[in-house]
């Protein structure tokens, strides 16, 4: 299915206001409530809408420290990549893991309470990940810009 302008408007509104009622959404995109509901159901069924979530404030929850960790593995063998990916997915403090092209094999985004908490995460989890040959951590001083909205 391809997206038309109305589908894109629906997606833009839902990215900003995930809890908007169907009636309000329909009004904002100039559709009847039933037509809007059908479109949202189709966008969900076709996988354009993955989920609805609450975005939490890490700072208010006591996790103001963001760390990006570059990981180089000892090998690019498929079984090692798979083992690493399964293991890192179980680390509760890792928000994102990206397989990279370039100098690092993976980049992880981690949240922590402070540097001491990151040292615990490093010791307890990161040093035990399979196949890690080298790690380099960079601490974010400040988040300048952050969004979850895709440019649809």
- pLDDT tens string 45-78: 999 999 999 999 999 999 999 999 999 999 999 9
Domain count of the fold of the chain? 2
Verify that 31 and 69 share a domain, yes or no. no
Question: Is 21 contained in some domain?
Answer: yes
Query: Could you tell me which residues come within 8 angstroms of residue 43 by beta carbon, excluding any fewer than 6 positions away?
Result: 7, 10, 11, 49
Domain-embedded: residue 72 = yes
- The residue segments making up the domain with residue 23 are 5-45
Determine the distance from the C-alpha atom of residue 65 to the mean position of all C-alpha atoms in its chain, rounded to a whole number.
Answer: 17
Q: Read off the pLDDT of residues 88-97 as tens digits, 9 standing for 90 and up.
A: 999 999 999 9
Residue 15: count other Cβ atoms within 10 Å of its Cβ: 15
Tens-place pLDDT, residues 102-117: 999 999 999 999 999 9
| 122/139 Cα distance (integer angstroms) | 13
> Do 80 and 114 fall within a single domain?
yes
């Amino acid at each position: 299915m391809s997206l038309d302008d109305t589908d894109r408007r629906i997606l833009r509104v839902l990215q900003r206001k995930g809890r908007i009622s169907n009636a309000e959404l329909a009004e904002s995109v100039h559709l009847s409530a039933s037509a809007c509901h059908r479109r949202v159901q189709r966008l969900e069924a076709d996988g354009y809408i993955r989920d609805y979530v609450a975005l939490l404030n890490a700072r208010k929850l006591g996790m103001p420290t963001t760390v990006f960790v570059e990981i180089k593995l000892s090998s690019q063998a498929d079984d090692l990549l798979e083992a690493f990916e399964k293991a890192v997915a179980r680390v509760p403090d890792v928000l994102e893991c990206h397989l990279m092209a370039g100098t690092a094999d993976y980049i992880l985004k981690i949240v922590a309470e402070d540097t001491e908490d990151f040292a615990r995460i490093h010791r307890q989890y990161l040093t035990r990940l399979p196949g890690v040959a080298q790690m380099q951590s960079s601490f974010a001083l400040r988040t300048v810009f952050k969004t979850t909205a895709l440019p649809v």
